[in-house]
Amino acid sequence: MGISSQIAFSSSGGWALILPTMSNGNFGQDAGIFYQFLPDLPMARVMFLAGIAVTAVGLLGLPAGAGGPRLRRSAAVVTVTGAAAVMAAIALAFTAQVGPYGTVIPALHDAASDRPVPYTPVCGNAGIPACLQPAYRPYLSDVTTALRPVISQITGLAGAPARASQVAAVFRPGPGPGAGGGGQILALKGSPPVLYLPLGAIALPGSFGGDSGSFVSQLKVEAVHAFVTPGGAYGNPAQQAVEAVLLQNAGIPLALQPQALGDTPWPLMSGGPRSAGRYPPKIAAAARRFAALPAATRHAWLAAHMPALRAGRLTLGQLP
């Protein structure tokens, strides 16, 4: 088990997939909730471990002192059969393909396993309807608490979401259920726009050291980021400054935002607040200037300039 664990930590494919302590590529955060557990790897693993057990039993009958010729011939057959099962399992593991919902072994895969798990969502009011998979019902209050102050600032602006809907956190970014797409951060897509929430990719309160405060903060950060900066990039200085103001008005002070940004999954950019522990002076100054405007003035400016801002065509100097 110890050797298996060490190999599993350093491998992400091939025969190591069937080791008993292997977790890479074996299961996703939302397996069994949004989509079925794929049985392909467990089947190969059972074949592998059963083959080892059968081989070990067969080896006991091979020595000359184990019994007569008939027993030794039977033991040889058992040993070869067990070894063949081991080799077959290894060969199957090398054909494995890791997809959004698990690891598929074509020779063992059943298309019925690809069917999503049906459910009736539970919804709350975040200024827009926010709907989750019923298994996530305990976190609905945190989700609405996080989204409400963000939605209140962007309602009426181009690209503002009409609703929020949870999607599965997947093995790797890629197509997810329905029109929402996948990925591991909040994404704003569709017409009318929908804010898609892969909550399984975030440290939930009570798990992995997560707490309600950090969960709410990360949802705010990712929701603002999805609105201002389409895609996974960190954003240009003007986008960062506007995000900073929206987050400040959503309850995360400017000085605390670099810490909140530290939990986000998009790429770290040199000189950004995550690397410096604070906003660069020019971005901080622009954010303070923009935050000092009356709320109605800020909203009117965003209404006029949101498409250009989201496209990355504005500079810090163009912020009012």
Claim to verify: residue 94 and residue 141 sit in the same structural domain: no
Residue/partner pairs of 265-270 with CB below 8 Å, 24 or more apart: 265/184, 265/185, 265/201, 265/232, 266/185, 266/225, 266/232, 266/233, 266/234, 267/232, 267/233, 267/234, 268/234, 269/234
Claim to verify: residue 140 and residue 289 sit in the same structural domain: yes
pLDDT at 231: 61
Q: Residues in the chain with pLDDT < 50?
A: 173-182, 266-268, 270
pLDDT at 230: 79
Instruction: Write out the residue range of the structural domain in which residue 27 sits.
Output: 2-110
Select from 110, 141, 168 the last residue of a domain. Answer: 110
Of 262, 194, 198, 201, nearest in space to 234 by CA: 262
CB 243 within 8 A of CB 235: yes
Select from 76, 110, 144 the last residue of a domain. Answer: 110
Claim to verify: residue 101 and residue 157 sit in the same structural domain: no
Q: Which two tokens stand for residue 134?
A: 């019923």
pLDDT at 202: 83
Q: What are the percentages of helix, strand and coil residues in the chain, rounded to 5?
A: 50, 10, 40
Q: Would 117 be classed as within a structural domain? A: no
Scan for tokens 């070990």, then name that residue: 56
pLDDT at 242: 95
What span, in angstroms and rounded, lies between the C-alpha atoms of 317 and 320? 8
Q: Would 115 be classed as within a structural domain? A: no
Q: Which pLDDT tens digit goes with each residue over 4-30?
A: 777 766 676 777 888 877 766 666 778
Claim to verify: residue 173 and residue 236 sit in the same structural domain: yes
pLDDT at 119: 94
pLDDT at 174: 40
What span, in angstroms and rounded, lies between the C-alpha atoms of 251 and 9? 39
Tell me how many domains the chain contains. Answer: 2
Q: Would 9 be classed as within a structural domain? A: yes
Claim to verify: residue 38 and residue 169 sit in the same structural domain: no
Claim to verify: residue 143 and residue 81 sit in the same structural domain: no
